Amino acid sequence: MNPRTLFRTVAVAEALTWAFLLTGMFFKYIARTTEALVPPAGALHGFVFLCFLASTAFVWINQRWSLRTGLLGFASAVIPFATVPFERWLERKGQLDGTWRLAPGREAPGNPAEKLQAGVLRAPVVAAVIAVAGIAAVFTLLLIIGPPVPSS
């Protein structure tokens, strides 16, 4: 998997979970027929949102995006469906081109973030398990803290 494939996959997944969450909210708040979709949609969207932020940071490091571009990536996750146009914009600018520059046998890492990324690229399966566990831990903590808006 290259930076383009990773970013595109997670950007589309984030947009799809927005659709699921907004659909659940429609049925709960507008149609007033059921609220059964909101908890699973919110949970799935929250998890994919965190995955998108992690993926954005990972690709940001690899592609050497500017601070502005990286922060726009993070902000795109907050606006419904904005991750897909953001990904298309990056694609048009050539900001997703290439492979993993810090993969084994390629560039040497120069800072702590790059050293972490190089380690991930040396052991991607182990890193993926750790990343998913870490995101799940953050997600669980957020669930314990509670929703951002008190339930009615």
20-46 confidence digits (pLDDT tens): 999 999 999 999 998 899 999 998 999
* Residue 150: per-residue pLDDT: 63
pTM of the model: 0.87
Answer whether 90's CB lies under 8 Å from 96's CB: yes
pLDDT category, 148, cuts 50, 70, 90?
A: low
* Residue 152: per-residue pLDDT: 57
If 0-12 CB within 10 Å is exposed, 13-18 middle and 19+ buried, where does residue 119 land? Answer: middle
Q: pLDDT averaged over the chain?
A: 93
* Residue 104: per-residue pLDDT: 93
Answer whether 46's CB lies under 8 Å from 139's CB: yes
| Residue from 121, 114, 107, 73 nearest 93 by CA | 73
